[in-house]
Amino acid sequence: MKKITYTLALTLLALTSPALFADEAAIKKALSNFMPGGQVDSVKPSEVKGLYEVSMGGNIFYSSEDGKYLLQGQLFDAEAKKNITESKLAEVRKASLDKVGEQKMIIFKPETSKHVVSIFTDIDCGYCRKLHSEIDQYMAQGITIRYMFFPRAGKGSDSYKKAVSVWCAADKNKALTTAKKGEHLDAKTCENPVDEHMALGEAFGMNGTPMIVTQKGNILPGYVPAAQLAKVLASE
């Protein structure tokens, strides 16, 4: 009797579970057709009945259960006054950065690290240079900085070539500081993650540099002074 009851319960759960009504294959196909080259990381029910949350790269989309209709935008909980999409995006950003890994970043780390931020930078960007010129102040605040490249002029530009040369240098940290000062840097080429950095920045919706991503996955656009950044990170 217990076995029959248990089996019946599982059957009812399967019949009523909203996740099972979604055609995951159809949703993945629809997004792949809509965004060729993209890869769907997950499909799961959203907080809205009949709408499915789709994680793709650094983005979140919403889909009908058959994948025919796709939405991109912010989903709010009006009662709780909470931006549901942004909180989910923060988690997606964290996972995306973890996937890239620190071996593909240039890291400046203080003796005692209290916080970690990932910064998309352009070697020729004025505020990027200002931020890096104050690197000692960030270190004094206990902030580990993990640099990733986003040359705004695009692939093949002088800024892009400088980013590649920095990555290919024997001492990446020293080369980055040299380049940020506008000093001569020997041109080099090698296998590098610059394209991967740029693709991730685009997925994060970058519209300028520097762009700071906190350890919680939140975005701080533009230059933020060391003391102010430390306060923001402590409040997280």
The residues annotated with a catalytic role in the active site are: 122, 125, 128, 152
Beta-carbon contacts of residue 123 (< 8 Å; ≥ 6 apart): 129, 149, 151, 159, 162, 163, 166, 176, 179, 180
Any idea what DSSP says for residue 21?
A: G
Is residue 67 within 8 A of residue 28, CB to CB? The reply is yes
Determine the Cα–Cα distance for residues 215 and 217; give it in Å rounded to an integer.
5
Beta-carbon contacts of residue 201 (< 8 Å; ≥ 6 apart): 120, 148, 150, 211
Cα distances (Å, whole numbers) of residue 104 to 118, 145, 208: 12, 13, 21
Phi-psi map region of 86: left, alpha, beta (phi>0 left; psi -120 to 50 alpha): alpha
132-155 burial, b for 16+ CB within 10 Å, e for fewer? Answer: beebeebbebbbbbbbbbbbbeee
Determine the Cα–Cα distance for residues 195 and 81; give it in Å rounded to an integer.
38
